[in-house]
Amino acid sequence: MTTRRTKTVQEHVQIARSFLENAGREFDAGDQLQGSEKLWGAATHAVTALAKQRGWRSGKSNARSRAVEWLAEEENDPSWSSGYLAAEQFHANFYHDFMEDYTIDRARPIVGEFVRRVLAKVESPTT
């Protein structure tokens, strides 16, 4: 039996950045399903990095959602939640291919900004 090593905060940050970059390439190449999943992956790894840094649970989807809600409450800013909800839409789109091009075009920057904001929090925890 192989034991999986737990990723560090910095490893999650690097994966989030890589997925965000790769999502852009996938969308640009016309692969909306892979772009959607990479965008979702960027968001989850960013949230996982923040949660791990703060000692919050992050291993399951509901724990990551709760971490985002704690951050939104802490910052008194509901846009944190909105960004994560947009990311969840891309996760669902990977499986169900329901998002129209115009919806993807509007939602991609929201998720990208969410990921960048979360990563900024991880890298500068006092801001």
* Residues 102-117 pLDDT 10s: 999 999 999 999 999 9
Contact, 71 vs 121, CB < 8 A?
yes
Contacts of 65 (CB under 8 A, 6+ apart): 84
Contact, 121 vs 60, CB < 8 A?
no
pLDDT at 4 over 80: no
CA distance 25 to 108: 12
Residues recorded for the chain: 127
Provide the pLDDT for residue 72: 94
CA distance 108 to 122: 21
pLDDT one-digit tens code per residue, 5-54: 789 999 999 999 999 999 999 999 999 999 999 999 999 999 999 999 99
CA distance 38 to 26: 8
pLDDT at 2 over 70: no
Q: Where are the domains of the chain?
A: 9-121
Q: What class is the 9-121 domain?
A: mainly alpha
pLDDT one-digit tens code per residue, 55-104: 997 778 788 999 999 999 999 999 999 999 999 999 999 999 999 999 99
| Distance, CA of 54 to chain centre | 17
Provide the pLDDT for residue 101: 95
pLDDT band for 3, please (50, 70, 90 cuts): low
